Structure 1
Amino acid sequence: MRTEPSGVPEPDLRHHGDAEVRDDGAGLVDLAVNVRADTPPRWLREEIAGSLSSLAAYPDGRAARAAVAARHGLPVERVLLTAGAAEAFVLLARALKVRRPVVVHPQFTEPEAALRDAGHSVDRVLLRERDGFRLDPSAVPEDADLVVIGNPTNPTSVLHPAGTVAGLARPGRTLVVDEAFMDAVPGEREALAGRTDVPGLVVLRSLTKTWGLAGLRIGYVLAAPEIIAELERAQPLWPVSTPALAAARACVTPRALAEAGHAAHRIAGDRAHLVAGLTALAAHGVRVVGPARGPFVLVRVPEAAEVRHRLRDLGYAVRRGDTFPGLDQDWIRLAVRDRTTADGFLKALSAVLGAPVSPPREAAP
């Protein structure tokens, strides 16, 4: 089940959006990386800076762990702080004893890469474009004892119903749900974080996307105490730095949650603006996967590789899509930015496609 369609090379699972703006990407408008623009905010930078006087001491994660637990209404035994979600995938791959892991694609590729690196043979369930990349639970093998899915999913921006995702749970199965972008969804609807009634549920959260902390590396795992204990045994000592712990405490305060909620609504409006502009280019072969619910959109564009290169010449970096299993070279992913940035990008894309430039029509979020 890990095979790709005939003629499609095996995707590069280690390629990520930051590769589009490294090295020769100086000066490009970044639509490739899904970190919210203009972050971290000043108050958060000040919180992090205030922790620097404590660097001589070893990190103490108890207060941050308790703060995250309280944010989700959980006991601390159900929380593990990690150096970003990427570390959590490595811990899961190394610590859990599984026979048949399955990753639902297209999605963030690090879970599969980590499982492979740990010596596992990984099966893929490829969601289909004709179904809008929506989850088909019947496609997941019944004997899979580890299932990984993103919600909302990177790169498709599909938000799967919580009930459908939870329905994948089985006795003897670990269900890993990557909710790294859930705080960009207004009201966090369809979230499973905080649920204790789903057997084998493991929820991963990242604080790097919404708060602009990719360089700091902070995230966490929510799961049953016995799973948390297994993952914690696989962690090195002091895995999360003192500044990252300060950020974790700050990002789960009522003030921060309210700010993230406002940002989620703003992103929804900006995304609708971008999607309207892209939809206006349908006659030129542009197709947006919808309804998009994350802070990014997946777009099919004819000859996307050439389009990406020409967009770079015009000052815009976008994320190639063919490194995600289940997608080919005609896909790109675009991070949602403010409307002025989106209009500049749409003008550049129109020029590349030879389309007349017109203001995008507004659409409801």
Structure 2
Amino acid sequence: MNLEALTDDDVDLSHHGDAEVGDGLRDFAVNVRGATPPAWLADRIRDSIAHLAAYPDPAPARRAVARRHGRAPDEVLLTAGAAEAFVLLARVLEPRRAVVVHPQFTEPEAALRAAGHPVERVLLGKDFAFDPAAIPADADLVVIGNPTNPTSVLHPAAALASLARPGRTVVIDEAFMDCVPGEPESLAGRLPTGFVVVRSLTKTWGLAGLRAGYLLTAPDLVTRLAEAQPLWAVSTPALVAIEACSSPEAVAEAGAWAVAMGAERDRLAAELTRRGLYVVPGASASFLCLRVPDALGIRALLRQRGFAVRRGDTFPGLGSDWLRIAVRDRDANDELLEALGDLGI
């Protein structure tokens, strides 16, 4: 791993998977589970429309999230998706030395830069494993994903917890943690001193258009972040979804999906590896990161065949030979494999 000072706009931090999708394209670019939300959740969201004349009441959803993670309600802040959480943190925190561990979701760095904070990058090395020793001792803000987008790597909770220092804030983006059966490496229930855990309901429940997420941290920081948040930032339908998806029954349903998705992900990874591609090992989320010679050219050829995949060169620490592929169902994945085969892959 190495440390990189940010001096210019060397990558497009604002590029996200939805920009890859177009009419008639099979979507392997966006990391949102297909065929969601399920009918029971869609029904609850639909029923919430009857209550839109009243201002949103976040209390029930906040209590549900707290119960789901074994936290106190005053350690929970509900947000309009994980992206709002990163913006609020950038606005409220005043880091002297902010470090973002890459490759990872680019929105945290973009939010910090937009708020006027200088940013340094720690670039992960072989197989994108994380070594806490790579973080500068005087860094007072550290941001890392777990499991990380786009690499799908799951970092050990002990390694992340070891980052705790007096005066340091550590932000863990766990937007894809519910892809991991049992969530053994999650810090949401442990929450070491100085840590912020950011979660999203967008991915597993197919709610990107609803904007539903939350963060967990110490009550004093929750208060400061809430003061920077617009009033009624989370809509009534989103609050209903947050409460519903935090129930024991929903957590169990998500866990069962994670097991099935993981088996198909591993099958897809094995097939790509058999074809001679480097697939980042130990994938734990709902996508794979792979190195392909002339990845941008392959991406363009796949688009001609009706498939959208995510380019990797807009993630710091990757480059023009990288792609990210979302895991779909077996039939859809086989169609993508067939298209790659037509390209000699």
Band the TM-score falls in, shorter-chain normalisation: over 0.9
**Counterpart in the other structure of 1:291:** 282
Alignment pair present for 1:329 and 2:320: yes
Alignment pair present for 1:183 and 2:174: no
Match of 2:40, as an amino acid?
Answer: W
2:101–2:122 CA contact under 8 A, matched in 1: yes
1:132–1:289 CA contact under 8 A, matched in 2: yes
1:4–1:325 CA contact under 8 A, matched in 2: no
**Counterpart in the other structure of 1:303:** 294
**Counterpart in the other structure of 2:18:** 18
Deviations 1:243-300 (A, max 9, x none): 0000001101111111100000011111011111101210xxx210011111101000
* Cα RMSD (Å): 1.3
Select the residue among 56, 59, 69 that pairs with 2:53. Answer: 56
Select the residue among 156, 159, 164 that pairs with 1:161. Answer: 156
Select the residue among 180, 196, 202 that pairs with 1:208. Answer: 202
**Counterpart in the other structure of 2:139:** 144
1:4–1:326 CA contact under 8 A, matched in 2: no
1:98 deviates by 1.4
Select the residue among 90, 95, 99 that pairs with 1:93. Answer: 90
Structure 1: distance between partners of 2:12 and 2:164: 29
**Counterpart in the other structure of 2:222:** 228
Match of 1:81, as an amino acid?
Answer: L
Select the residue among 255, 260, 264 that pairs with 1:261. Answer: 255
- Tell me how many residue pairs correspond in the alignment: 343
Select the residue among 30, 39, 44 that pairs with 1:42. Answer: 39
Structure 1: distance between partners of 2:236 and 2:59: 11
**Counterpart in the other structure of 2:308:** 317
Structure 2: distance between partners of 1:48 and 1:293: 29
1:33 deviates by 0.3
**Counterpart in the other structure of 2:100:** 103
Structure 2: distance between partners of 1:275 and 1:33: 18
Deviations 1:55-100 (A, max 9, x none): 0111110111011111111111100000000000000000112111
2:101–2:143 CA contact under 8 A, matched in 1: yes
Structure 2: distance between partners of 1:76 and 1:194: 13
Q: 1:347 to 1:4 in 2, by over 3 A?
A: farther
Alignment pair present for 1:238 and 2:235: no
Match of 1:195, as an amino acid?
Answer: R
Name stretches of at least 5 consecutive residues in structure 2 with no aligned partner. none
Q: 1:4 to 1:305 in 2, by over 3 A?
A: farther
Q: 1:309 to 1:4 in 2, by over 3 A?
A: farther
Q: 1:236 to 1:192 in 2, by over 3 A?
A: same
2:76–2:216 CA contact under 8 A, matched in 1: yes
**Counterpart in the other structure of 1:118:** 115
1:311 deviates by 0.4
Structure 1: distance between partners of 2:279 and 2:27: 19
1:2 deviates by 3.7
Out of 213-222 and 249-258, give the one that drifted further.
249-258
Match of 1:178, as an amino acid?
Answer: D
1:80–1:232 CA contact under 8 A, matched in 2: yes
Deviations 1:312-355 (A, max 9, x none): 11111000000000111000000011111111101101111x25
Deviations 1:81-132 (A, max 9, x none): 000000000000001121111100000000000000000000100001xx21
Percent sequence identity over aligned pairs: 62
Name stretches of at least 5 consecutive residues in structure 1 with no aligned partner. 356-365
1:9 deviates by 7.5
Deviations 1:205-231 (A, max 9, x none): 000100000000010010011111111
Match of 2:189, as an amino acid?
Answer: G
Structure 2: distance between partners of 1:3 and 1:17: 26
Q: 1:326 to 1:213 in 2, by over 3 A?
A: same
2:6–2:118 CA contact under 8 A, matched in 1: no
Structure 1: distance between partners of 2:327 and 2:293: 21
Structure 2: distance between partners of 1:332 and 1:33: 12
Select the residue among 128, 143, 161 that pairs with 1:133. Answer: 128
| DSSP-derived class of the 1:299 partner | strand
What is the TM-score of this pair, normalised by structure 1? 0.92
Structure 2: distance between partners of 1:276 and 1:69: 38
